[in-house]
Amino acid sequence: MRGPLSARDLLLGIDVGGTKCVAVIGTRSGSIIERREWESRAGEGPKPMIRRIADAARALMDRTGGVVACGVSMPGPLDVERGVIEDPPNLPGWHDVPLREVLEREIGLPIRIEHDAVACALAEARWGRGGAARRLVYLTCGTGFGMGLLIDGEPFYGAHGRPPEIGHLRLHDDGPIAFGRRGSVEAFCAAPALGRIAVWKFPARWPTSARPEEVASLASGGDAEARAVVATNARATGEACALVADLLHPDLIVLGSLARYLGPDWVDAVRASFAGEALPGAASSCRIVPSGLGERVQDLSAVAVAVRDLETRRR
C-alpha cells in the first residue's frame, strides 16, 4: 500500500450537470491545473454524454500525467455504493446507469461517484467556509435543488448509499411543477424555478415559458413582477432551509448557485424567511451563508471527492 496522499499526486475531477459538464485536473490543495468545459446536451441521453466525458478525461490525463484517482460529481438520485445513477430529473434517460463501472473501463482509474450536493459540501469543508462546522448542509440552488449533509466531515447516506433528496418534498399544495410534483422544493427553489414561478404567478405576461436569466435581469432592473418572482423564490428557499434546520439542527447551511447569481439581497431574503419559519432554537444555532468558493465550487467539488476517496483508500 502506498503512503499518504502526496502533494505531487494529481486528481481528475468530473462535474456532470444538466446544463454543462466540466473535467479538471487538480491537486489536494485545491489548485486547478487543467480544465475543460462543454455543454451537457442532456437531451441526447447518457451514451453520448458519457463518451464526451471519457474523451475529455483522457485528453486531460494525456496532457498532465501523474493522475492517481478520479472523483465524479453527479445529480441525484443515485446509489453511491454501487456508482449507479438512478433517474436524475435533469438528465433524461439516465435510468440505472452503471457510471462507475463504465468510466473505470474507459478511463483506467479508480472512480468515486458522489452526489453533487455532497461533493460541494466536501469542497466547502476542505477549502471554503465550512471547515469549522460539525454539521454542514450544502444546498445546490442550481439546475436542480440537491442537498448534501456532512457530520464531523463525513457524508451522511441512507439505505443503499443514497444521500438525502430534498427537491421532491412538497412545500405548498399549489405552485409550479418540478421533480414530478406540484409545489415541490425544486419547483420553487432551483434556478429554473424563476421561470416556473413567473409562468405560475403571471400567466398573462408569461403564458407558456420564461427564461430564468430574463426574470433575474428584469428583477435587477426593478421590474415589479420579476421582483415578485425572485421574492417568492427566496421565501421558498428560506422555508426549505427551515425544514432542514428543524429536522437536522445543522451549524451551517451553505447556498449554491442562486446565491452567487442573485447576490446579497437574495441571501438576506432567504435568511429572513428562514428566521420566520424555523424553530427558534434551530434558527439561532444555524448560520446561512453563500458558498465561499464562488464559481470554483463546481470544479473543486469533484476534486474533493477524489481527494477523500484516495485518502480513505490509503489509510
Per-run averaged pLDDT (10 residues), the chain, 315 residues: 56 93 94 95 96 96 90 92 91 95 95 95 93 93 94 91 90 92 96 97 96 97 98 98 97 96 97 97 96 92 94 77
Res 6: pLDDT? 54
Task: Dig out the grid coordinates for 88 from the structure.
Answer: 436524475
Cβ count within 10 A of residue 208: 6
Half-sphere exposure of 149 (CA within 13 A, CB side): 18
Res 130: pLDDT? 82
Q: What are the distances in angstroms from CA 293 to CA 206, 252, 296?
A: 34, 15, 5
Domains delineated in the chain: 10-122+295-313 (3.30.420.40), 131-291 (3.30.420.40)
Res 76: pLDDT? 86
Q: What are the distances in angstroms from CA 208 to CA 189, 196, 237?
A: 19, 9, 24
Task: Dig out the grid coordinates for 195 from the structure.
Answer: 421561470
Res 65: pLDDT? 83
Res 121: pLDDT? 96
pLDDT tens column, 209-218: 999 999 999 9
What angle do the packed helices 193-201 and 224-248 form, to 10 degrees?
A: 120
> Which residues face 177 on adjacent strands?
182
SS3 100: helix
Res 3: pLDDT? 46
Res 286: pLDDT? 97
Q: Taking the mean position of all CA atoms in its chain, how far away is CA 264? A: 20
DSSP state of 5: P
SS3 85: strand
Res 234: pLDDT? 98
Per the rule left: phi > 0, alpha: psi between -120 and 50, beta: everything else, 143 is alpha
Go through the chain and tell me how many residues it has. Answer: 315
pLDDT tens column, 271-315: 999 999 999 999 999 999 999 999 899 999 999 999 999 888 776
